Amino acid sequence: MSPRRVVDSQAPEYFHAPVDPPTRWGLPLVAGICALLTAVTLGLATFMTVVHEADRRTQVRDADALGYVRAFMRAYTTLDPFNANDYADRILAQGTGEFEKTFTEKQNEIVLQVARNEPTNGEVLEAGVQRWNDDGSADVLVATKMTTTTPDGKQTIETGSRWVATAIKEGQQWKISRLIQVI
């Protein structure tokens, strides 16, 4: 052997390709699964938030319409014969559309009828949104009770009725566009 060439048994061989260690798939696989689960979780959380907000908006809109219709029906069923003209003006101011037209046509008859009656106290027993219409109005089913005392004050008379009130928001104010008594 030549002195230039010393053979070292521990030295790598130059004419053979080194064998690569096997690829470990554990860490990339776990990282991929975690990324996928994170994306799915974020998607579900976003979907649930959108659904929750839509439900909340519907509940707020329902509560707004119900609150207005309850107040209107309480005023509508509470008659004060000593202020019949004021009663008619208050009710007419809250009307629009078909209700306003009908109430205006019969306003004199209504004022006379209210003036002839005994004072009544109206109460809303229950109200619920029946449906929302395409024009943004709500049909609300309302159960009311009117309490009247006889002229001699000895007897109290209670009568109940059901109504379907259609309320629509004009600008920032709710108004009644239709009021139908249900039998």
Dihedral pair phi/psi, residue 4, rounded to 5°? -70, -25
Question: What is the DSSP-derived secondary structure letter of residue 7?
Answer: -
- Classify each residue of 63-73 as buried b or exposed e, where b means 16 or more C-beta atoms within 10 Å of its C-beta: eebbebbbebb
Question: What is the DSSP-derived secondary structure letter of residue 95?
Answer: B
- Classify each residue of 21-34 as buried b or exposed e, where b means 16 or more C-beta atoms within 10 Å of its C-beta: eeeeeeeeeeeeee
- pLDDT, one tens digit per residue, over 105-143 is 999 999 999 898 888 999 999 999 999 999 989 999 999
- pLDDT, one tens digit per residue, over 35-60 is 999 999 999 999 999 999 999 999 99
Please give the span between the terminal C-alpha atoms of the chain, in angstroms, as a whole number: 121
Largest CA distance in the chain: 141
- Classify each residue of 109-146 as buried b or exposed e, where b means 16 or more C-beta atoms within 10 Å of its C-beta: ebbeebbeeeebbbbbeebebeeeeeeebbbbbbbbeb
Token look-up 């929302």 returns: 132
**Which is it for the CA torsion 137, 143, 147, 148, positive or negative?**
positive
Which stretch of 1-10, 79-88, 115-124 has the lowest confidence by average pLDDT? 1-10
User: How far is residue 118's CA from residue 150's CA, in Å, rounded to a whole number?
Assistant: 7
Mean pLDDT of the chain: 89
Residue 70 has pLDDT above 70, yes or no: yes
Q: Which CATH class is domain 26-77+118-182?
A: alpha beta
Confidence band for 3, pLDDT divided at 50, 70 and 90: low
User: How is residue 39 written in tokens?
Assistant: 């994306």
User: How is residue 108 written in tokens?
Assistant: 């004199």
